[in-house]
């Protein structure tokens, strides 16, 4: 596919998806969603981590494209919301770690995109929020639910009701982002995190993600059963044998994802 709104690159086992509409502050329109969906569908088994970021030096993603949304009907809005949900759920359900490098404005749909990732890191100049109520609407791509699960009801409601924009330091303080970096160090840091992940057993990392994600929706006993199953199944893998043999031999493991 000839991408017009994103960049999609591979660097060994690492993939980088960049929303690249800098003149529109990387706003998400239908065409961009479809390109993102195509990129996610094209990921191969040799990809073991994904970074998501924004093009240019001002925005991660400033939100959904208001120019597209301003005149659509309720039925069209439902279709647009369903498209965004489908893409972000695909991102969330990938069996590999996903990392958001929030390099500027992450508002509305932009914050929802970041929330679909496993880990969120921000530059010092990032601004984050869900300002949809100032437009007479609410988040439509999972923001109300993912914010609540990450921050708790009261903090999520505060952000949703007030439409406040948080600076990166405040976002870290409330647990919305993990760390804040100088703008020129953000990608270096995120790639370093990805490099640490890539050294580990890919089946084990995928299983860890699976049991955390599915376990979060279960009671503790059911969630612990998921963990027991995940732990046991890895003992049928070549990676488990290689990892433990390497530990005993005091050498680096050579994981194959098998």
The CA-CA-CA angle for residues 10, 185, 43, to 5°, reads 20
Kindly report the backbone phi and psi dihedral angles of residue 106, in degrees, each rounded to the nearest multiple of 5, phi listed first: -130, 85
Residue 255, domain member (yes or no) = no
| Residue 82 contacts residue 90 (beta carbons within 8 Å) | no
Mean pLDDT of the chain: 96
DSSP-derived pairing of the beta strands 166-167 and 105-107: unpaired
Residue 75: CATH number of its domain: 3.90.226.10
* Residues labelled as active-site residues: 112, 132
pLDDT (tens digit, 9 = 90+) per residue, 26-78?
999 999 999 999 999 999 989 999 999 999 989 999 999 999 999 999 999 99
Instruction: Please state the pTM of the whole predicted model.
Output: 0.95
Clarify whether residues 132 and 231 are in a common domain: no
- The DSSP-derived string for 118-158 is SEEEEETT-EEE--GGGGT----SSHHHHHHHHH-HHHHHH
The yes-or-no verdict on residue 1 having pLDDT over 90 is: no
Clarify whether residues 35 and 72 are in a common domain: yes
Domain that holds residue 231: 202-249
The yes-or-no verdict on residue 184 having pLDDT over 90 is: yes
The yes-or-no verdict on residue 13 having pLDDT over 90 is: yes
Clarify whether residues 232 and 178 are in a common domain: no
| Residue 91 contacts residue 125 (beta carbons within 8 Å) | no
Number of domains in the chain: 2
Q: How far apart are CA 242 and CA 1, in angstroms?
A: 38
Residue 210: CATH number of its domain: 1.10.12.10
pLDDT (tens digit, 9 = 90+) per residue, 117-148?
999 999 999 999 999 999 999 999 999 999 99
The yes-or-no verdict on residue 86 having pLDDT over 90 is: yes
DSSP-derived pairing of the beta strands 119-123 and 49-54: unpaired
């Amino acid at each position: 596919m000839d991408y017009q709104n994103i960049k999609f690159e591979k660097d060994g086992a690492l993939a980088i998806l960049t929303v690249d509409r800098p003149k529109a502050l990387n706003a998400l329109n239908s065409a961009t969603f479809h390109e993102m969906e195509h990129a996610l569908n094209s990921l191969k088994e040799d990809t073991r981590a994904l970074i998501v970021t924004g093009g240019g030096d001002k925005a991660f993603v400033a939100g959904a494209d208001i120019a597209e949304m301003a005149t659509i009907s309720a039925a069209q809005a439902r279709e647009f919301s369903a498209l965004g949900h489908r893409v972000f759920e695909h991102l969330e359900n990938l069996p590999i770690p996903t990392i958001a490098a929030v390099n500027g404005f992450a508002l509305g749909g932009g914050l929802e995109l970041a929330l679909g990732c496993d880990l969120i890191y921000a530059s010092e100049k990032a601004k984050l929020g869900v300002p949809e109520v100032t437009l007479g609407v609410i988040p439509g791509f999972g923001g109300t639910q993912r914010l609540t699960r990450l921050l708790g009801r009261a903090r999520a409601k505060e952000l949703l009701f007030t439409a406040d924009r948080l600076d990166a330091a405040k976002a870290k303080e409330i647990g919305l982002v993990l760390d804040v970096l100088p703008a020129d160090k953000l990608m270096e840091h995120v790639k370093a995190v990805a490099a640490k992940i890539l050294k580990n057993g890919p089946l084990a990392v995928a299983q860890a993600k699976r049991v955390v994600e599915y376990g979060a929706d279960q009671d503790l006993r059911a969630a612990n059963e998921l963990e027991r199953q995940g732990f046991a199944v890895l003992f049928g893998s070549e990676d488990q044998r290689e990892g433990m043999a390497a530990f005993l031999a005091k050498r680096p493991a050579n994981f194959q994802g098998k």
